[in-house]
Amino acid sequence: MVKKASEPKDIIRINNIKLLKVISDPTRKMIIDVLYDNPLTASEIAEKISYPKDKIYYHIKKLQSNGILIIAESQVVKGITQNKFINAAKKFEIDPSLIGEQKIPKEDEKEDLNYKLIRGNVDTRIKKLNDNYIDEYNKRYIE
């Protein structure tokens, strides 16, 4: 019997540096990316991102405990509860104050913000994010 759990919210705002660090990990970013369309089990996630199954649980638990992932459905298979995970929101929005901006950019300001993010000309807390994460974030959420 499949038990439905939670539905994702429309938007979650990333408004603290701790949460930003959680989602900026490259492995966790890949997990978030594969969970936009369909709920997946930990094994399915590991397979999709080519990551060892025994290590994927650490990242899933980290994302889940920080409210980024939710259990979409549970099912008992051979006496073991198997959870399928999905992102807690359809869209994640980073608070501009975390990246050195004090306001949400207007359409014509997005290009300037993208340039600053890509070139690393932002607050030192964000400089640790890799360029691939920033490019993917901009493509998915800002553009």
Instruction: Give the model confidence (pLDDT) of 59-75 as tens digits.
Output: 999 999 999 999 999 88
SS3 (DSSP) at 13: strand
- Percentages helix, strand, coil for the chain (3-state, rounded to 5) are 45, 25, 30
Contact 53, 135 (CB under 8 A): no
Instruction: Give the model confidence (pLDDT) of 24-73 as tens digits.
Output: 899 999 999 999 888 999 999 999 999 999 999 999 999 999 999 999 99
pTM of the model: 0.65
SS3 (DSSP) at 103: coil
Contact 120, 99 (CB under 8 A): no
SS3 (DSSP) at 84: strand
Structure token digits, residue 48: 């999709």
Q: Please enumerate in sequence order all residues whose Cβ is within 8 A of that of 61, keeping only pairs 6 or more positions apart, or say none.
A: none
Contact 142, 114 (CB under 8 A): yes
- Residue closest to 87 by CA, chosen among 37, 15, 43, 16: 37
